[in-house]
Amino acid sequence: MENKSWVGLLVLCLAIAVVGLAEAGVPAIFILGDSTADVGTNNFLPGSMARADFPHNGVDFPFSRATGRFSNGLNSADFISKQFGLKRSPRPFLSLNSTSLHKKSFRGVNFASGGSGLLDITGQTPFGKERIPFGASFVNRKNVITLSEQIQQLSLVKSNLADIKGQSVTEKLISKSLFFISTGSNDLFGYYHSNSSFSKEAFLSSLELAYEKHLKSLIELGARKFGIISIAPIGCCPSQRIYNATGGCLEDLNDLAIAFHERLGALLFKLSSQHKSIKYSLGNAFEMTISVIQNPLPFNFTQVEAACCGAGKLNAKSFCSPHAKLCPNRNNYLFWDLFHPTQAASKLAAVTLYNGGPQFVYPINFAQLAKA
């Protein structure tokens, strides 16, 4: 793994921070996944093309700071964390150094990396720049922290906590903590645009197997409470609508998201049956988002097709940059850029995940998961 210099410093940071955990009254939160949850991980990857540490990103963040979030402000990881009493998401793992945590209570870590996916190959080359055959093996400069590596980082955190607090205390802490995962979209994008010879069923099976492997690794580390966010109707992203002559959604891509949600539900049920101590909430991001797209006004959205920040048709011909066109009414936009939701949309999603009904989060919501 890279950046080994922070390993010793991480121990010191956790030693300072973990003191307040019991007093906090809430479990620690660990977040894994892709750009929907990345709060600055990729800022530490010089070779990454999946970065957002420049304007107009962060225009609505305190002091208009571009933090690396793919948003005009906070993202879903932040708003989910806020539901549990945190100011915002825990800090990125790669930011843990001698000045990062100071005397603040240890409340968890965010490992999410923009561009990553369930497959280790996903995100290793900039989307749309090269056509990599599905399943190809290649070496490229570091572009993302894969989900496999994110779990390795979690293992290191657990090891350091055990050195500080003891093994039994750490095991209890991990078992009561909440693990939120938001991933899979980039895998679908890569497959759909690769002209792969793999069948839809074969590809979805490979994703399901990868997810099972990752979840089993987390279970082996002691994780017991999982908040899983499934794939949204990504065929309705501005970046995908421009492939449709009518400006409508790419329904074939949406169909992949629906099919994978069904597989994910079955997988989680199977794992919870095999491991009786496992509790989970599966957020149906597809239904949550499509309901807003089909009936936006009750949610205060007036634009659900175009991006707020970008250029060209639907503001989706380029990524958000300092020179991009920026909408003034950001709270009325569903999409911030080509792929990602606005701060307003992320807040709505988090509130729904926290206290929504079974049509949006099943079998229990995130609030019930915390108490389970």
Look up residue 182 and give its amino acid: S
Q: What is the mean pLDDT of residues 138-158?
A: 83
Query: 176, 188, 231, 121: which is closest to 370 by C-alpha?
Result: 176
Q: Quote the CA–CA distance of 349 and 288 in Å, as a whole number.
A: 7
Q: What is the mean pLDDT of residues 75-82?
A: 98
Q: Which member of 35, 76, 113, 182 is catalytic? A: 35
Q: Which member of 38, 78, 187, 337 is catalytic? A: 337
Residues 6+ apart with CB under 8 A from 137: 121
As a whole number of angstroms, the longest Cα–Cα distance in the chain is 60
Per-residue model confidence (pLDDT) at position 96: 86
When mean pLDDT is compared across 86-100, 156-170, 174-188, 198-212, the lowest value belongs to 86-100
**In this structure, is the dihedral angle defined by the CA atoms of residues 39, 44, 49 and 55, taken in order, positive or negative?**
positive
The neighbouring-strand residues paired with 33 are: 182
Torsions phi, psi for 279 (to 5 deg): -125, 145
102 is catalytic: no
Per-residue model confidence (pLDDT) at position 125: 59
What are 241-250's pLDDT values in tens digits? Answer: 999 999 999 9
Share of the chain above pLDDT 70, in %: 86
pLDDT at 103 over 70: no
Q: Quote the CA–CA distance of 204 and 370 in Å, as a whole number.
A: 30
Cβ distance 366 to 360 under 8 Å?
A: no
What are 39-69's pLDDT values in tens digits? Answer: 999 999 988 889 999 999 999 999 999 999 9
What are 333-342's pLDDT values in tens digits? Answer: 999 999 999 9
CA Rg value for the chain: 19
CATH of domain 26-232+249-284: 3.40.50
Residues 6+ apart with CB under 8 A from 14: 101, 106, 157, 160, 161, 164
Q: In this structure, how many other beta carbons lie within 10 angstroms of the beta carbon of residue 139?
A: 5
Per-residue model confidence (pLDDT) at position 255: 98
252 is catalytic: no
Q: Quote the CA–CA distance of 53 and 185 in Å, as a whole number.
A: 21
Per-residue model confidence (pLDDT) at position 130: 34
Q: What is the mean pLDDT of the chain?
A: 88
Q: Which member of 187, 239, 340, 346 is catalytic? A: 340
Cβ distance 250 to 314 under 8 Å?
A: no
34 is catalytic: no
Kindly state the tokens that stand for 274. Answer: 């095999």
Share of the chain above pLDDT 90, in %: 79
